[in-house]
Amino acid sequence: MKYDKWVLLPEASDSETVALGMGRVESALLVHRGIATEEEMDEFLSPTLSSLHDPFLLPDMHVCIDRLEEAVDSKEVVGVFGDFDTDGISGTALLTRGLEKMGLEVLPYVPHRIEEGHGISMQALEFFASKSVTLLITVDCGVSSSNEIDTALHMGIDTIVTDHHTAVDELPAAVAIVNPSLPGSSYPFKYLTGVGTAFKVMQALYQRKKVELPDELYVYVTLGTISDVGLMRDENRYLVSKGMDLLKKSEIPGIDALIEVCNVSKKNLSTQDMSFGIIPRINVAGRLDHANLSLMLLLASDGAEAGPLAAKLDEMNKKRQMITEKAMLEAKNQIKSDFESGVPSIIFAGKSNWIPGILGLIAGRLSEEYHRPAIVASGQGETFRASARSIPEFNMINALDMCSDSFEQYGGHPMAAGFTIRKDNLREFRTKMSSVADELLMGLNVQPTLMIEAEISPSWVNSDSLSFLNAMEPYGETNQQPVFMTSGMNIVDARQVGANKNHLKITMEYQGRLYDGIAFRQGTRVEECKGSVDLAYRPEMNYWNGKFNLQFIVSDFRSSC
């Protein structure tokens, strides 16, 4: 995208470079992440088991494990209920496999996005009751499901809640609520994802039983932590690092099938491959149909079962991309009038026939392009659904709290949220939320800003530097993939590519050598690709048709002064 401002971060000082024992560019990358000593560098680049905190420090964990041991001893039938996104699906798979290996009969359940919505549904409770379930464990939900948990208790079903969301109302009457975000929690790391919290339950159970955790549980927690943009520090970093390593070496039929349809290298699998290849295909089932399809894939026992499921998800993802692009065009046309007197504090878009599964994608794209919080809604009848995405300067869930009387239901995080609202309340909510956004963003210099880690010559990019960048994996929140800049790159050729011609393929020359670049979603800027430019980019080895080639992923470019 085109950024209003580029900020070149400081170089590492001589003393910092000496202390780390690394080159100038490598030292700068580490210093920017708060790493100042060789010991800190070793822990960052090679996180160890010591990064994992004692799971029994989490609220209610002792009670939780006591109840699970009771279920194991009594051979109870256990239900697992997870949300329909990758965080919830992977957590459901994790608990299912983890509990099955303890000898339990486990019935996993993920809800239908439209028919059941977020949180524990009556449909799910009726299913569990019909199967003689006596213990229900939630993943990535439940902290706001007081009524449903009361109903489950009347049905003879105890509930253990594992969640990471902040409770909006009073806590439910569950047997245990394992949640690092609970008021009064002394757990040292507050940024576990939903699947990460479920993982801690399995860590505690297996620790109590003195049994080693199965490798596949690390793979499941990796999927959900990357998908939910978990803070990539502390134990999240260890879990994802170990999970990525196992993914490259282990045979997990469902993931292997997805790797194949994504045409990425298993041996060199990266968090980028996960974020833009594997995870969208897991998410797509819940967006367009039923998330149970993705759960079946993750739990598949062999390639014969996993292959057709992965192929179906791949086809669904292609359909999702087409639907999203069409809706984006409609949204951008719809909001034009809102920009007549400047960029508004918050963006609103909506259309009755946009499917709920793509609302978050549209909101995210609008928020990224205009660097403003965005709310996108759809609905037919009296109730509308909406997804909200935000920017660092604007805490979305706090803003929604200020409008809470407008909603039927709502919840989320500072950067992403969702709600349902009566059609009659839409106009009043928009007016109120616009005022909230005006107030919260007043006086702030809100503009798209690109943070650049270092100015380099492209010749710095070689096997050693690429190995170092790979060692900085896993990338994610607070450890973004580094963006570099090179001034004075000469454009040799630029052309629009992609089904909708919305990407740019660029060939550049620098000091007599040619370099290839790809600028995603910047196809309309083809006329700007001429002469000498300053390039902001991420170098990577592109894997295609079994071959690796150096490619620059272009974040932005501007005419050289």
317, 289 Cβ separation under 8 angstroms: no
Share of the chain above pLDDT 90, in %: 86
87 φ/ψ angles, rounded to the nearest 5 degrees: -60, -50
Multiple choice CATH, 55-233, 2.40.110.10, 3.40.50.300, 3.90.1640.30, 3.40.50.970: 3.90.1640.30
pLDDT at 5: 92
Residue 327 vs residues 108, 286, 366: alpha-carbon distances, Å: 33, 18, 11
Q: What integer is the mean pLDDT of 437-455?
A: 92
Report whether 113 contacts 357 (CB < 8 A): yes
Structure tokens that stand for 78 in this block: 């256990």
Residue 240 has pLDDT above 70, yes or no: yes
Compute the average pLDDT of residues 100-110. 98
Ranges for all domains in the chain classified under CATH 3.10.310.30: 335-441
pLDDT of residue 393: 93
- Other CB atoms within a 10 A radius of the CB of residue 15 amount to 9
Q: Give the containing element (helix H, strand E) for 72.
A: helix 61-74
Nearest to 446 by CA among 397, 499, 394, 494: 394
Residues in the chain: 561
- Residue type for position 200: K
**Domain made up of 335-441: CATH architecture:** Roll (3.10)
CATH 2.40.50.460 segments of the chain: 5-11+449-559
In tens, the pLDDT along 341-350 reads 888 999 999 9
Residues 13 and 98: their CA atoms lie apart, in Å, by: 48
CA max distance for the chain: 76
The pLDDT of 129-135, averaged and rounded, is: 98
The most confident of 25-34, 263-272, 335-344, by mean pLDDT? 25-34
Say how far apart CA 182 and CA 393 lie, in whole Å: 25
On whether the CB atoms of residues 163 and 145 are closer than 8 A, the answer is: no
Tens digit of pLDDT for each residue in 452-477? 999 999 999 999 999 999 999 999 98
Nearest-angstrom CA–CA distance, 524 and 545: 28
**Pairing mode of beta strands 416-422, 383-389:** antiparallel
Residues 397-401, mean pLDDT to the nearest whole number: 95
Global pTM value: 0.91
Whether residue 514 has pLDDT greater than 70: yes
Q: Which fold has domain 5-11+449-559?
A: OB fold (Dihydrolipoamide Acetyltransferase, E2P) (2.40.50)
Residue with tokens 């902001």: 536
User: Alpha-carbon distance 229 to 208, whole Å?
Assistant: 30
Q: Is 201 in contact with 162 (CB distance < 8 Å)?
A: yes
